[in-house]
């Protein structure tokens, strides 16, 4: 069957099997391999993308279910050579080691900050609790997201003058 | 303006060079790679823990339109690949032929056009099994009536995987116990857990029949050693095998072994004449790949006049159905005999016996430093048990029994030579950071109100950086690492290393070593790794060996280059080499410091047509194979604060203080990150991670729904401290740190839980994981060990 | 990754259309809403529907509103919206308690109350919540609607009163005066199913409990409704001794099974502890609504 959705701002139409999971649609059909997978049971969060601005575990959605929706993957964070503050924050605060959970964590963070621009540490920890990281112990991820919140605000201040 | 603090040339908090691709989602992990014509493999696995295979019928699968081939043991036999050697000199079935010996064991390999079809076709293979009774409990494996698992091995009459291995002095230990005034014994289990890196295991094998070249894409922690194994197993010339590791989504020891799926992918590619990709799912990862720990221990500790004097341990090690543990050859129990710990004991004696059970093979994994995790857990639990018996503070008991700084290098009763340390200082730093006295006061106040708070400490000494050729090898291969360094005419460098990062930041830290030694900024040092064609032979990254061994290699090779540079500089400056002194990045004339040569100018000279020193070749490069003179011995003092809900048994880790001494720190930011991650794993092990089986050997939790890993809500804001006691024999004074936090944290947490419950509920031991149910049972006086 | 077997997919554009599709496709057809129960089961091949009818476009089923003396929740309302709803937090704070411990925040953007109730896993927190609140649910079929009480909704493990060709459309909660409610859960790790969980609701008349609703999750084949405890509470003033008796009833009247989360005796004990805790908080909220 044909599905049409917006992926990273671009309208895409492809022929898919109904059973094709969104994560495979992104990785295999669209060659956007930045979204990862790490489990079979929707627990690890490596596959998180944004659908209509809200975090979604792409291993638990069919591509068909995303027809007509807007999907954003990690590849959308950098715009015109400028890194998203979330990406910068992860780099500043050493919030990644092997990098495998990182796209899912960053998209979750982006979704959080778009809803709640000034989260407390507790709110950040809750927001990322649907993702597992084996490398960092989360401390630096929390610091990175807090940095991104502060720098998002700065960027917005600059824009509004 | 950036300062040297922001952009150190050499050691310091440098942000990572490898980050740019990862934060853009442009890492290249195994499943990201697509090759033209590539086929997909999937493995049919046994539902039974122990069963005869009566028949395998692949006919229905073969007619599936998208299936290219189906491989069984019979097919592999014709290629001589049905069985493969393990690192422990045992053999392991690649695909089961006669019998299956653990639930999840590989039975058939399907090769199809795509992943979905491969998964579909698994259901089309019909296997008839005749179930057999299973042995699941290591303690029962040697019962006379236990079913024989390894009837494939001629002469094997029981489920003993390797004979009892001993270390220490039994007589001296018996004497120490006889002379002691206090003896405490405990049965202590370190349950089976799993490293579960976020990226599962997989491989793409691409055999070119015309050239005989085998290209392998595979995230593994020891690519050169794997290459040697494949050459041996597949009968191919080693130099015609290339392994590319690219980016690896975590290893933690899970990506050390050679798995049957890898051999199947290789065989599949040889047979199909196309690249074959096999990537396991999470259930396969948990059910069939290298687990960790599973040690059943009985221990006694003794003391005289308040000082710890002796320790003895008797261990049954559950190795699963095949003995595939990874450790140096002469050490079948790894480094478990470091169980003598950080204490000035009179004597210790250790014996370990390994058994087969009907469970997945493995045992040495998950940041254990070759069984040091098991050893540290044992000794630190026993020290606390002794403190409980003596009714003394557990910190005081340790302080009074530590090896003293002046005793280093210290030869332990079980044959280790610890290099350097000031244990008491590290403990004091931890106690200060924790405000220990305040915590004890708070605990007393809470107890008076009926609230259960626990404080637990652990102190560990690790032995990492395996290892000297005179003492150790793996599969007959020296545990040495190489380093090749070339400084190009533009003054920038490329260093190729044997270490294999799975997230440890090597592209940054190894550049920093070259920067420290040669003064070339880290951004101008390219680190090459992960490709056996482009990196020197070495034994890879596990056992915290990257800094001790590859780090030593890079330091030594950089100094070789620096020495060459001195000779070239002396020609450039028309002076004698001995008249030159070095400051980072420059040789200059002693007594005339204005007169000097920068490293980049020396490099340019090395490639130019201008005269070189007498007898010296052009270029500026060197190669080294580094044989470490000894292991290195990082150590640490850890403290955990827990709160236990007295009605539900739920445990929360409120605080965790970790003081680590890993010698000189190349990049403190990277070191701290490693520690954070290992502490989170320790919380997992102490509170929630365990692989469980029923009596028939069915694995009850082979998914992340039930194999539980800590999230951001179970991990506190870790508090880190440091002391720095350089390693006297390491070129940089560095010791390695990757595994220390996983080694040292579980006993601190378990000691804390017991501390919360001892006075009010009389609990004096509890086995991991300290789930709410297990804690509650202990509070009722009915602690149950995991099966 | 594990992948589902093949099936047909269609998207419903109306409730009637969804029901018609279910009827037409027969018993092999399943509704998919959030999909976070169904799709994992399909990947593990524990569920192999021949047809999926996607109802995510049915915005008319996504609402939380006060209607007369009821609060009505559309079956397609997402967990995250139940969590954030100030209307629910005000009238039935038990929802916010439960939603904070259901799955994880990412799953909560997709999962729905209808999906949770229809999954009918005994460990579903919302099933216990709705049972304690004495909710009634609306089931629509091709020949109209019927309203079913929660006690009649959960028939057995993974079985509800929703028949073939029917759709759960609405949950109705009577808004009665003097209400207080709370949910208590213990799990091995954030996001895990409950080892045990208790939902309690009270409706006070002055200092006494006029009516109560208590239900337990994860300690039986289905949601456990503690009728005996509710009987005991009616007409009484709240107090520790009374709640201890309720705890005793809770631990007796549930039927937990031993599994990886815990043995039977612990689960029974936990059911009692959490029933008392939930009741205590529910009562405090009823008596001190300003807090």
State the complex-level ipTM. Answer: 0.98
CB of C260 within 8 Å of a chain B CB? The answer is yes
CB of B29 within 8 Å of a chain C CB? The answer is no
According to CATH, what is the number of the domain B481-626? 3.30.365.10
pLDDT of residue B3: 61
Q: Is the peptide bond before B409 cis (omega within 30 degrees of 0)?
A: yes
- Most distant CA pair in chain C, distance: 59
Is a pLDDT exceeding 90 seen at residue A130? yes
Residue among B678, B740, B770 nearest B373 (CA) = B740
Note whether A52 and A42 are within 8 A (CB): no
Nearest neighbour of A134 by CB, restricted to B23, B27, B196: B196
pLDDT of residue A159: 59
B407 is catalytic: no
Nearest neighbour of B708 by CB, restricted to C188, C195, C274: C188
Rounded to a whole number of angstroms, the distance from the CA of B783 to the nearest CA of chain C is 12
State the best of B196, B685, B698, B776 to mutate against chain C, taking most chain C CBs within 10 Å. B776
Token look-up 């400028």 returns A82
CB of C5 within 8 Å of a chain B CB? The answer is yes
The neighbours of chain A, by the rule of 3 or more Cβ pairs under 8 Å, are B, C
B759 is catalytic: no
Contact C39 A41 (CB under 8 A): no
Cβ neighbours of residue B740 under 8 Å, at least 6 residues apart? B460, B462, B544, B634, B635, B636, B660, B662, B675, B678
Contact B29 A36 (CB under 8 A): yes
Note whether B481 and B550 are within 8 A (CB): yes
Q: What is the pLDDT of residues B170-189, one digit of tens each?
A: 999 999 999 999 999 999 99
The rounded distance, in Å, linking the Cα atoms of B368 and B569 is 46
Q: Fold match between B291-466+630-779 and B481-626?
A: yes
CATH superfamily of B33-132+201-248+255-287: Aldehyde oxidase/xanthine dehydrogenase, a/b hammerhead (3.90.1170.50)
pLDDT of residue B5: 74
Question: Could you read off the pLDDT tens digit of each residue along chain C, which spans 291 residues?
Answer: 999 999 999 999 999 999 999 999 999 999 999 999 999 999 999 999 999 999 999 999 999 999 999 999 999 999 999 999 999 999 999 999 999 999 999 999 999 999 999 999 999 999 999 999 999 999 999 999 999 999 999 999 999 999 999 999 999 999 999 999 999 999 999 999 999 999 999 999 999 999 999 999 999 999 999 999 999 999 999 999 999 999 999 999 999 999 999 999 999 999 999 999 999 999 999 999 876
Rounded to a whole number of angstroms, the distance from the CA of B200 to the nearest CA of chain A is 7
Residues 110-149 of A with CB under 8 A from C: 126-127, 129-131
Contact A56 C106 (CB under 8 A): yes
CB environment B723-738: b (16+ within 10 A), e (fewer): bebebebbbbbbbbbb
Q: Topology of B291-466+630-779 in CATH? A: Aldehyde Oxidoreductase; domain 4 (3.30.365)
The rounded distance, in Å, linking the Cα atoms of B199 and C1 is 11
Cβ neighbours of residue B78 under 8 Å, at least 6 residues apart? none
Rounded to a whole number of angstroms, the distance from the CA of C70 to the nearest CA of chain B is 36
Contact B708 C263 (CB under 8 A): no
CB of C154 within 8 Å of a chain B CB? The answer is no
The neighbours of chain C, by the rule of 3 or more Cβ pairs under 8 Å, are A, B
The rounded distance, in Å, linking the Cα atoms of B200 and B206 is 20
Rounded to a whole number of angstroms, the distance from the CA of C281 to the nearest CA of chain B is 16
pTM over 0.90: yes
pLDDT of residue C139: 98
Which residue out of B92, B103, B221, B351 is catalytically annotated? Answer: B221
Contact A97 B673 (CB under 8 A): yes
Q: What is the pLDDT of residues B249-261, one digit of tens each?
A: 999 999 999 999 9
Contact B281 C195 (CB under 8 A): no
Which residue out of B516, B674, B739, B770 is catalytically annotated? Answer: B739
CB of C52 within 8 Å of a chain A CB? The answer is yes
B367 is catalytic: yes
Enumerate the domain spans of chain B: 33-132+201-248+255-287, 291-466+630-779, 481-626
B351 is catalytic: no
Which residue stretches of chain B have pLDDT < 50? 1
Domains, chain A, ordered by start:
2-76 (3.10.20.30), 85-160 (1.10.150.120)
């Amino acid at each position: 069957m044909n599905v049409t959705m917006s992926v990273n701002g671009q309208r895409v139409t492809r022929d898919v099997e109904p059973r094709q999971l969104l994560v495979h649609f992104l990785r295999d059909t669209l060659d956007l391999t930045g979204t990862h997978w790490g489990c079979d049971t929707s627990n690890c969060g490596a596959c998180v993308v944004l659908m209509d601005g809200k975090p979604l575990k792409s291993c638990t959605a069919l591509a068909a279910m995303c027809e007509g929706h807007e999907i954003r993957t990690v590849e959308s964070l950098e715009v015109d050579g400028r890194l998203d503050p979330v990406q910068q924050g992860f780099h500043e605060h050493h919030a990644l080691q092997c990098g495998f959970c990182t796209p899912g964590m960053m998209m979750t963070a982006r979704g959080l900050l778009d809803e709640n621009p000034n989260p407390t540490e507790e709110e950040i920890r809750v927001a990322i609790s649907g993702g597992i990281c084996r490398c960092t112990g989360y401390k630096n991820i929390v610091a990175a997201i807090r940095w991104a919140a502060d720098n998002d605000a700065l960027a917005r201040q600059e824009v509004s003058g | 303006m950036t300062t040297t603090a922001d952009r150190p040339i050499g050691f310091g908090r440098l942000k990572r060079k490898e980050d740019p691709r990862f934060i853009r989602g442009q890492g290249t992990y195994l499943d990201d790679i697509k090759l033209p014509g590539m086929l997909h493999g999937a493995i049919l696995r046994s539902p039974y823990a122990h069963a005869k295979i009566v028949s395998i019928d692949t006919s229905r699968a073969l007619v599936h339109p998208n299936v290219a081939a189906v491989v069984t043991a019979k097919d592999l036999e014709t290629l001589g690949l049905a069985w493969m050697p393990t690192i422990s000199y045992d053999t392991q079935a690649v695909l089961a032929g006669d019998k299956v010996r653990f639930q999840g064991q590989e039975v058939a390999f399907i090769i199809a056009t795509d992943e979905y079809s491969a998964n579909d076709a698994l259901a089309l293979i019909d296997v008839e099994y005749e179930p057999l009774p299973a042995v699941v409990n290591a303690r029962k494996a040697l019962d006379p009536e236990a079913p024989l698992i390894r009837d494939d091995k001629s002469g094997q009459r029981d489920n003993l995987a390797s004979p009892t291995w001993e270390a220490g002095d039994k007589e001296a230990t018996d004497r120490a116990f006889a002379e002691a005034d206090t003896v405490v014994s405990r049965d202590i289990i370190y349950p089976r857990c799993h490293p579960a890196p976020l990226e599962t295991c997989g491989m793409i094998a691409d055999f070119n029949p015309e050239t005989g070249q085998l290209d392998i894409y595979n995230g593994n922690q020891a690519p050169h050693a794997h290459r040697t194994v494949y050459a041996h197993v597949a009968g191919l010339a080693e130099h015609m095998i290339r392994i590319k590791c690219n980016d690896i989504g975590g290893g933690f020891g899970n990506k050390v072994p050679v798995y049957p799926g890898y051999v199947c992918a290789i065989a599949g590619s040889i047979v199909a004449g196309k690249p074959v990709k096999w990537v396991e799912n999470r259930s396969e990862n948990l059910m069939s790949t290298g687990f960790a720990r599973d040690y059943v221990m009985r221990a006694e500790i003794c003391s005289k006049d308040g000082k710890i004097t002796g320790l003895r341990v008797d261990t049954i090690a559950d190795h699963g159905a095949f003995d595939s543990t990874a450790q140096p050859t002469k050490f079948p129990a790894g480094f478990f005999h470091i169980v003598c710990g950080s204490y000035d004991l009179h004597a210790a004696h250790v014996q370990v016996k390994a058994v087969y059970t009907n469970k997945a093979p493995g045992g040495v994994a998950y940041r254990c430093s070759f069984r040091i995790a098991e050893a540290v857990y044992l000794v630190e639990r026993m020290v606390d048990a002794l403190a409980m018996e003596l009714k003394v503070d557990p910190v005081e008991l340790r302080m009074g029994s530590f090896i003293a700084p002046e005793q280093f290098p210290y030869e332990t009763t079980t044959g280790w030579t610890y290099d350097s340390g000031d244990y008491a200082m590290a403990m004091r730093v931890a106690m200060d950071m924790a405000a220990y006295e305040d915590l004890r006061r708070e605990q007393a106040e809470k107890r008076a109100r009926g609230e259960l708070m626990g404080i637990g400490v652990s102190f560990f000494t690790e032995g990492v950086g395996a290892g000297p050729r005179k003492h150790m090898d793996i599969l007959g291969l020296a545990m040495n690492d190489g380093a090749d360094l070339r400084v190009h005419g533009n003054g920038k460098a490329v260093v190729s290393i044997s270490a294999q990062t799975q997230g440890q930041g090597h592209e940054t830290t190894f550049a920093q070593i070259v920067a420290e030694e040669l003064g070339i900024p880290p951004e101008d040092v390219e680190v090459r790794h992960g490709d056996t064609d482009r990196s020197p032979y070495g034994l890879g990254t596990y056992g915290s060996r990257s800094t001790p061994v590859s780090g030593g290699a890079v330091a030594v090779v950089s100094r070789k280059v620096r020495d060459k540079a001195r000779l070239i500089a002396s020609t450039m400056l028309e002076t004698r080499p001995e008249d030159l002194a070095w400051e980072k990045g420059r040789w200059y004339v002693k007594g005339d410091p204005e007169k000097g040569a920068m490293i980049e100018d020396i490099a340019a000279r090395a490639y130019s047509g201008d005269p070189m020193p007498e007898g010296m070749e052009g270029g500026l490069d060197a190669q080294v194979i580094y044989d470490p003179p000894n292991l290195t011995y990082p150590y640490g003092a850890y403290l955990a604060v827990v709160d236990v809900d007295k009605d539900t048994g739920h445990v929360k880790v409120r605080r965790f203080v970790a003081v680590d001494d890993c010698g000189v720190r190349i990049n403190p930011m990277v070191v701290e990150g490693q520690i954070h991650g290992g502490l989170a794993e320790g919380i997992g092990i102490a509170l929630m991670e365990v692989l469980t089986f029923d009596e028939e050997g069915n694995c009850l939790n082979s998914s992340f729904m039930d194999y539980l890993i800590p999230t951001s809500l179970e991990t506190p804001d870790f508090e880190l401290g440091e002391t720095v006691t350089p390693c006297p024999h390491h070129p940089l004074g560095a010791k390695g740190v990757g595994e220390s936090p996983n080694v040292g944290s579980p006993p601190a947490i378990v000691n804390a839980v017991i501390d919360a419950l001892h006075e009010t509920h009389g609990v004096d031991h509890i086995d991991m994981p300290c789930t709410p149910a297990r804690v509650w049972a202990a509070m009722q006086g009915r602690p149950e060990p995991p099966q | 990754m594990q992948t589902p077997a093949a099936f047909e997919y269609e998207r419903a554009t109306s409730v009637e259309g969804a029901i018609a599709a279910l009827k037409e496709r027969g018993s092999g057809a399943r509704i998919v809403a959030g999909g976070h129960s169904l799709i994992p089961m399909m990947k593990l091949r524990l569920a192999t529907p021949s047809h999926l009818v996607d109802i995510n476009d049915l915005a008319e089923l996504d609402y939380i509103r006060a209607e007369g003396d009821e609060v009505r929740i559309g079956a397609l309302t997402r967990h995250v919206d139940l969590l954030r709803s100030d209307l629910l937090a005000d009238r039935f704070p038990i929802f916010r308690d439960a939603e904070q411990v259901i799955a994880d925040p990412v799953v909560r953007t997709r999962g729905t109350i209808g999906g949770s109730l229809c999954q009918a896993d005994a460990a579903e927190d919302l099933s216990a919540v709705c049972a304690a609140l004495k909710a009634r649910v609306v089931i629509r079929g091709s020949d109209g609607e019927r309203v079913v009480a929660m006690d009649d909704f959960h028939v057995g493990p993974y079985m509800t009163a929703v028949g073939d060709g029917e759709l759960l459309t609405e949950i109705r909660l009577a808004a009665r005066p003097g209400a207080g409610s709370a949910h208590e859960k213990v799990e091995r790790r954030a996001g895990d199913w409950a080892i045990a969980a208790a939902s309690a609701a009270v409706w006070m008349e002055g200092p006494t409990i006029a009516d109560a609703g208590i239900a337990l999750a994860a300690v039986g084949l289905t949601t456990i409704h503690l009728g005996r405890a509710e009987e005991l509470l009616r007409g009484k003033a709240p107090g520790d001794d009374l709640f201890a008796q309720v705890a005793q009833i809770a631990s007796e009247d549930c039927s937990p099974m031993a599994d990886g989360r815990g043995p039977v005796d612990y689960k029974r004990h936990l059911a009692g502890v959490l029933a008392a805790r939930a009741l205590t908080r529910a009562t405090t909220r009823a008596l001190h609504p300003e807090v």
